[in-house]
Amino acid sequence: MHFAITCTDKPGNLDLRLATRPKHLEYLDTQVAHIVVAGPLLDAEGKSPVGSLLVVDFPDEAAAQAFAAADPYAQAGLFESVTIQPFRVVYPKA
């Protein structure tokens, strides 16, 4: 089942995001089989990251929550909020 994970950074934490990014990317590399799409949410100018959006494929919401909680960004306290919602892929057509 697909889940959309939307993470909003705490304001003023760009330095924490940048410092944690290598570990975050290493973690995602270990989970690539579950990732449909992932990337940063950007500020209004489209320049600085202010959060993350991931669409993942896990058997249930508990597994998606465990995935999100194990992310080094989450463990470093970067996020102000994290939401996980069931998601249906419509495009591109499978």
**Domains defined along the chain, listed by start:** 2-86 (3.30.70.1060)
Looking at residue 94, what is its pLDDT?
Answer: 64
Give the C-alpha separation, 68 to 88, whole Å: 19
Looking at residue 92, what is its pLDDT?
Answer: 82
Q: Phi then psi for 19, rounded to 5 degrees?
A: -70, -30
| Secondary element (H or E) of residue 86 | strand 79-87
Q: What is the pLDDT of residues 26-35, one digit of tens each?
A: 999 999 999 9
Sign of CA dihedral 85, 9, 53, 43: positive
pTM above 0.85, yes or no: yes
- Residue 65's pLDDT band (boundaries 50, 70, 90)? very high
Distance of CA 71 to the CA centre of its chain: 8
Tokens of 5: 């994970």
Strand partners of residue 24: none
Pure H helices in 6-54: 14-30
Q: Percentage of the chain with pLDDT > 90?
A: 95
Q: Are 5 and 52 within 8 A, CB to CB?
A: yes
